[in-house]
Amino acid sequence: MTPIASCGAVAPAVSVRSARLADRLAAGAQALMDFASQLTEDQWCTTVPGDGRRVGVIVHHVASVYPLEVQLACEIAAGRPILGVTWATVHEMNAAHAAEHASVTKETALGLLARNSASAADAIRALTERDLDSAVPVSLYDGAELTCQFMLEDHAVRHSAHHLARLRSALQA
């Protein structure tokens, strides 16, 4: 997996909002890592009801999409509309990922999660206030004009918390 590149020129000073977003992403990823690192092999291989993917595949999924989620936010920051990305596209991508990584190991998934969350947080810290406020039409939301900050919060920043809650629920059942 290629490291996440910065969205553009490095800002002269770190934006407080960018730093907070990056810290929230890092904290969420750490919570997911802490949870997943304690799982038994049976728990790691448990299929999540209503999702169909194994716990380990979902952890790897969160890690593997950070680069894409941050890239989409960077496109918005640059003023480029997000075109051709639909929920059907997302579901196809997730299904292909699940098939390809069905037997992912805990070590592999957690290593990728650590690397990609750190790279994502670094890329977010490089965003300026203007970048965060930039808004363009986003096909994933039916062409609604959305900000870079919204895209980050609704995807990269909340992704680990979203899946962590589902994993906890699945393993308590």
Q: What is the pLDDT of residues 98-155, one digit of tens each?
A: 999 999 999 999 999 999 999 999 999 999 999 999 999 999 999 999 999 999 999 9
Mean pLDDT score of the chain, rounded to an integer?
93
Long-range contacts of 106-111 (CB under 8 A, 24+ apart): 106/36, 106/37, 106/39, 106/44, 106/56, 106/59, 108/60, 109/36, 109/56, 109/59, 109/60, 109/63, 110/33, 110/36, 110/37, 110/59
Out of 6-10, 31-35, 83-87, 101-105, least confident range: 6-10
Question: Strand, coil or helix: what is 51?
Answer: coil
Q: Which domains does the chain have, with CATH numbers?
A: 16-172 (1.20.120.450)
Q: How confident is the model over 85-104, as a mean pLDDT?
A: 96
The conformational region for residue 50 under phi > 0 = left, psi -120 to 50 = alpha, else beta, is left
Which residues make beta-bridge pairs with 147? 135
3-state class (DSSP) for residue 82 = strand
**Banded pLDDT at 18 (limits 50, 70, 90):** very high
Can you tell me the distance from the alpha carbon of 156 to that of 93, in angstroms, rounded to the nearest whole number? 16
Please, what is the Cα angle at 160 between 44 and 102, to 5 degrees? 35
Q: Yes or no: say if 124 and 70 are a contact pair by the CB < 8 Å rule.
A: yes
Question: Residue 1 pLDDT more than 50?
Answer: no
Looking at residue 14, what is its pLDDT? 74
Residue-wise pLDDT tens digits, 42-51: 999 999 999 9
